[in-house]
Amino acid sequence: MDGFIEIPVPDDIDNLNEESLLSYFQDQLENIEARVSEALDLTCDHADRRAVLERVRMTGVSISGDSIELAYLVELSKFEACKGVLDDYTFSRKVTGRQVAGVWRFEKQIPAPVRSTHDEL
């Protein structure tokens, strides 16, 4: 499906054990082919346009019925050479999905278009 990503539900994982779910999704996040990052909001421009994505870390997984919620942290940094300052930012975010026929299905994250003050004229 175009607007969704699907992550297989492993047979050997306990859906009630948050620690094993966290480990599974962190592994999926680090595996480029798994595509779970396509469901996450990884935008950096909240802090500053010069911010750089440093790391994404899963912090929570909860399952209720066929719904699943992933909580994660997006860690950003910004270096200002003229001031010699390195700023770090961390944003807490969540994404929800559903279990459908042996997979967890999440909507793909589509970044908001860049806006300008000229758009309002």
CATH assignment of 4-110, among 1.10.3470, 3.20.20, 3.10.450, 3.30.70: 3.10.450
What is the predicted pLDDT for the residue at 107? 92
Please write the tens of the pLDDT for every residue from 17-76: 888 899 999 998 888 777 888 888 888 765 567 788 888 999 999 999 999 999 999 988
pLDDT of residue 31: 83
Distance from chain centroid for Cα 22: 13
Report the pLDDT value the prediction gives residue 82, as an integer from 0 to 100. 80
Residues pairing with 86 in the sheet: 79
- Residue range 52-68, pLDDT digits in tens: 888 899 999 999 999 99
Phi–psi pair at 118, nearest 5 degrees:
-70, -20
Tokens representing 87?
């700023």
For residue 95 the two structure tokens come to 């994404």
What are the start-end ranges of the H helices in 14-106? Answer: 18-30
Query: What pLDDT does residue 38 have?
Result: 87
Please tell me which residue, 117 or 95, carries the higher pLDDT value.
95
Q: What is the dihedral of CA 10, 13, 14, 15, to 10 degrees?
A: -40
Q: At 105, is the secondary structure helix, strand, or coil?
A: strand
Mean pLDDT of the chain: 83
Q: What is the pLDDT of residue 84?
A: 76
Whether 118 shows a pLDDT value over 60: the answer reads yes
Q: E strands, 1-121, where? A: 4-8, 52-64, 67-80, 85-100, 103-107
The pLDDT of residue 4 is above 60 = yes
Asked whether 104 and 9 are in contact (CB, 8 A), the reply is: yes
